[in-house]
Amino acid sequence: AQSVTQPDIHITVSEGASLELRCNYSYGATPYLFWYVQSPGQGLQLLLKYFSGDTLVQGIKGFEAEFKRSQSSFNLRKPSVHWSDAAEYFCVHNAGNMLTFGGGTRLMVKP
Amino acid sequence: DTGVSQDPRHKITKRGQNVTFRCDPISEHNRLYWYRQTLGQGPEFLTYFQNEAQLEKSRLLSDRFSAERPKGSFSTLEIQRTEQGDSAMYLCASGQGGNQPQHFGDGTRLSIL
């Protein structure tokens, strides 16, 4: 079945440390992929999107993601995490008519 | 652009009651989507509209659920005879379809007593 997998349910990093959140997909054609962030009790905010072309995409808040077809991955990265980045992060596949979400990774930031 | 607006933000009701949620999309978006998110999970697709036409419904949308978008602007999602399992966050999103991102509201949290 086509799906999006986020292997890490929880991740804790120290403020100022680098971050990488993993995402794997299982779609045959070039997928349309997004990363969204959700703060507690809030809706979802788009961080970045990948359609085609350059495999490294830049997003808001200093985030970037790299699409690697050979590894079926679309990992999210940030060089230096801020306390305000603590939230739930979702890797998402866009099938045109609907979004399919991964299970999410909850990021906690230690002072 | 005032974003996607959902009302109410929270709804507490007794099992068996009917509830209705409203979503106002971004005005220039012709597509409107409903998702359900249970605790600790990612959102799951329920249904979507293009203008006033409901084009797709998930198997999650049982007969007790009905969604409308009568004039192609705001949408309502009604749940009849609510059950404990309906407790969730109901998220609305709007967009322009295709490969374009969807923009989400803050959701309506439903709690069934």
Cβ of B43 within 8 Å of Cβ of A99? The answer is yes
Write out the two tokens for A95: 């099938």
With beta carbons under 8 A apart, name residues in chain B contacting A94. 99, 101
Quick check: A84 and A42 in contact, CB under 8 A?
Answer: no
Interchain proximity B104–A45, CB inside 8 Å? yes
The pLDDT of B22-39, averaged and rounded, is: 95
Buried b (16+ CB within 10 A) or exposed e, A17-51: eebebbbbbeeeeebbbbbbbbeeeebbebbbbbe
pLDDT tens for A12-36 read 999 999 999 999 998 767 789 999 9
Collect all residues of chain B within an 8 Å Cβ-Cβ radius of residue A34.
Answer: 101
Query: Is B42 in contact with A32 (Cβ distance < 8 A)?
Result: no
Residue at token pair 């969604």 = B67
Q: Residue-wise over B1-33: b if at least 16 C-beta within 10 A, else e?
A: eeebebeeeebebeeeeebebebbbbeebebbb
Instruction: Please name the residue of chain B whose CA is at the shortest distance from the CA of residue A39.
Output: B106
Whether B98 sits inside 8 A of A96 (CB atoms) is yes
- Is A43 in CB contact (< 8 Å) with chain B? yes
Residues of chain A contacting B97 with CB distance shorter than 8 Å: 96-97
Q: Does A8 touch chain B (CB under 8 A)?
A: no
Q: Three-class SS of residue A25?
A: strand
- Cross-chain Cβ contact A32/B44 below 8 Å: no
Top pLDDT among B98 and B113 is at B113
∠ CA A44-B46-A49, nearest 5°, is: 40
Q: Which of the four pLDDT bands, split at 50, 70 and 90, describes residue A40? A: confident
How far apart (Å, rounded) are the C-alpha atoms in residues B2 and B5? 8
Amino acid B1: pLDDT: 54
**Chain A interface, best mutation among B36, B99, B108, by max A CB count within 10 A:** B99
pLDDT over 60 (residue B21): yes
What average pLDDT is seen over chain A? 92
**Contact assessment for residue B101 and residue A90, using Cβ atoms and an 8 Å cutoff:** no
